Structure 1
Amino acid sequence: MTEPDPAESLATPRVAAGVLFFDAEGRIMLVRPSYRPGWDLPGGYVEIGESPVEGAAREVLEELGIQPPIGALLVADWAPAAGEGDKLLFVFDGGELAAEYRDRIKLDPAEIAGIAFHDPDLVDTLLIPRLARRVKAAIDARLQAATLYLEHGDPYHGAMPN
């Protein structure tokens, strides 16, 4: 009888990373993907061998054609999705996107149909619920100069369910 491979029980989540950029008025940048409806943060899936921040920077370059500095980690979100399996999602602080970068944005039409800066109060109406929760938590983390751990977009407060 062969012993089960312990590696078969380890989580192998898809990993994605996005960046939260602001303009001078405190509005957040959202991108409109060309391959599906709705708004999203700049970012995407991390490739094999990349760290989450490297993946976020690569995605920003691919989608927007710019290489602004990527700041601190704001949130890490454990967010498995039906049909997609386990997912670990990161949001990094892009800070206020300087004019020198905004002026050089060149969208990749295969990925991004448009960008716009939106009032953070509109997040619930612009984003799907799980992403809206993650973005609001990232905004809160930035205001607190903290990093938050989330599960399905909701802050984890240290009490495991029974």
Structure 2
Amino acid sequence: MAEPETNSFATPRLTAGALFVDAAGRPLLVKPSYKPGWEIPGGYVNIGESPLAACHREIVEELGRSLPVAPQPLVVDWAPAANEGDKVLFIFDGGELSEADLVAMAFADGEITEARFVDVSALDDHLPLRLANRMRLALEARLQHRCVYAEHGRQP
């Protein structure tokens, strides 16, 4: 008997994060307590949840505040990982935050230990290469008011 066609459909894990910048255009990075390195605010999309809704939820969970996020993604990245399978990552535009916004963030649940704005030139020092590349694409897309499709953090 032939295998049902649906068994060949991709079922990727989805993640959604937000790009926040300061007045100088430096992106906001957060330091998770549960793993080494830095990330952007965001995380996995739950079953039945949209990427935009997941982004909003993760911002509240990680930064302790509800912040507006534009619904147009800046980057959609096909980025399968050997240990996790197929993945599609969304980065949404969270807009500009001030130093006062940074100080007002509350890391109540301990998932995030620190948040800071980082010079674009230092992204490679803080992030895995694919995420650093994805962030550069998101920063460019934000300036150009468009969405970029990527694969493994780069435009094909």
Query: Which TM-score applies when normalising by structure 1?
Result: 0.90
Counterpart CA distance in 2 for 1:26 and 1:144 is 13
Distance 2:131 2:108 in 1: 22
Kindly indicate whether the alpha-carbon contact (under 8 Å) linking 1:32 and 1:38 is maintained by their aligned counterparts in 2.
Answer: yes
Tell me, yes or no, if structure 1 residue 40 matches structure 2 residue 39. yes
Give the corresponding residue for 2:21.
22
* Pairs within 5 Å for 1:141-152: 141-152=141-152
Match for 1:41: what amino acid? I
Q: In structure 1, what residue type is equivalent to 2:88?
A: L
Specify the alignment match of 1:65 in structure 2.
Answer: 64
5+ residue gaps, structure 1? 157-162
Q: Larger C-alpha radius of gyration, 1 or 2?
A: 1
Structure 1 residue 21: Cα displacement: 0.3
Structure 2 distance, partners of 1:152, 1:70, is 24
Return the alpha-carbon distance in structure 1 between the equivalents of residues 132 and 109 of structure 2.
24
After superposing the two structures, state which structure 1 stretch, 9-18 or 63-72, moved more: 63-72
Structure 2 gaps, min length 5: none
Superposition pairs of residues 113-128 of structure 1, within 5 angstroms: 113-128=113-128
Q: Taking every aligned residue pair, what percent have the same amino acid on both sides?
A: 50
**How many residues are aligned here?**
155
Counterpart CA distance in 1 for 2:26 and 2:136 is 12
Question: What SS does the corresponding residue of 1:154 show, helix, strand or coil?
Answer: coil
1:53-99 CA distances to partner (integer Å, 9 max, x unpaired)? 11011000001111111013100000001111000000001110256
CA contact (8 A) 2:42 2:55 kept: yes
